[in-house]
Amino acid sequence: MEEQQLLVSLAKMQEEMGYIAQLEGLYGAATSDKEVRQDDYVIFQLLTFTHYHFLFTLACQMRCHMSEAYASARAAIDAALIGAHIIKDRAAQVSYAKRERPFDNFARYLGNLIKDGKPLPHPLMATLIDQQKKISTFAAHADVGSFIHRVRDTTDGSGNRMLAVEYFQFAREDDERKLYTLNLLHTFVMVLDVFAVFLIDEQRAVPAVWKEQLRQLGAVIERRAKELRERVKAAYAEGGKNPGIIT
């Protein structure tokens, strides 16, 4: 079943595979064969952690394990948020290694910064925090929302109602499969962007054009996702069903 869904994804998502290749190329430029100072090791460790989850997210998504794909993306967001904080305050990596404040409850710390109107270390952090919260409602815990793509209401041969719990989360239409893939890709564009200033200005690991290419890719993905989102919502509205996590 997994192999079959992988082949279906490869056949039906040619455009999205191009975006994946571009993002993988940008990751490769940022992470391959780098000489790293000891003070910067933690940041590169977090960066490579997000790269691992980029690959794992896609492996899950293309095999129709959508909830697991989003849970993996959530872990990458967590790494990006921590990375942004340490890039801004390099001494904080000691507290991170010891799991001391603010990393003993980092989500609450960031929430308090937002509540108090204080600046966050990176402009994309507010968007990533919001994305992380949304994912937590259906992909990271055993909340009722976790079953939104796992339970199917059906009937047996005698007309009796049945609820089936599915181990694979199938997109209703090809557009929906593509939309979720693009949503995940855009999340990783933002995650990688968090490390851009560090990679370009501090490390000189990539040229300035690298960030331009990353943001151009993000803009293309965002436009395409918007088009698909409207089509998918319209299809669900026509069928009288709730579109689930498509918001």
Beta bridge mates, 165: 151
- The closest of 135, 95, 96, 130 to 110, measured between CA atoms, is 130
Residue 69's pLDDT is what? 93
Coil vs helix vs strand at 153: strand
- What is the structure's pLDDT at 173? 83
Please tell me the distance from the alpha carbon of residue 110 to that of residue 129, in angstroms, as a whole number. 9
Residue 37 clears pLDDT 90, i.e. is over it = no
Cα separation of 79 and 48, whole Å? Answer: 10
Q: Where are the domains of the chain?
A: 2-140+170-239
**What does DSSP assign to residue 7?**
H
Q: How confident is the model at residue 18 (pLDDT cuts 50, 70, 90)?
A: very high
Percent of the chain with pLDDT over 90: 65
46: pLDDT strictly greater than 90: yes
Q: What would the pLDDT profile of 107-134 be if each residue is shown by its tens digit?
A: 999 999 999 999 999 999 999 999 999 9
> Would you give the DSSP letter of residue 148?
T
Sign, Cα dihedral of 134, 123, 29, 93:
negative
* pLDDT tens column, 178-203: 999 999 999 999 999 999 999 999 99
Residues with Cβ within 8 Å of 231's Cβ and at least 6 positions away in sequence, in order, are 175
- β-partners of residue 153 are 163
Would you tell me how many other CB atoms lie within 10 Å of the CB of residue 50? Answer: 24
Task: Indicate yes or no: pTM above 0.85.
Answer: yes
Report helix, strand or coil for 93.
helix
Average pLDDT, the chain: 89
> Is the pLDDT score of 204 beyond 80?
yes
Given a contact cutoff of 8 angstroms between Cβ atoms, the answer to whether 223 and 47 are in contact is no
- Supply the pLDDT for residue 141: 63
Alpha-carbon distance 239 to 89, whole Å? 51
Q: Which residue has the higher pLDDT, 209 or 37?
A: 209
Judge whether residue 242 has pLDDT over 60.
no
Fill in the DSSP letter of residue 201.
Answer: I
pLDDT class of 143 with cuts at 50, 70, 90: low
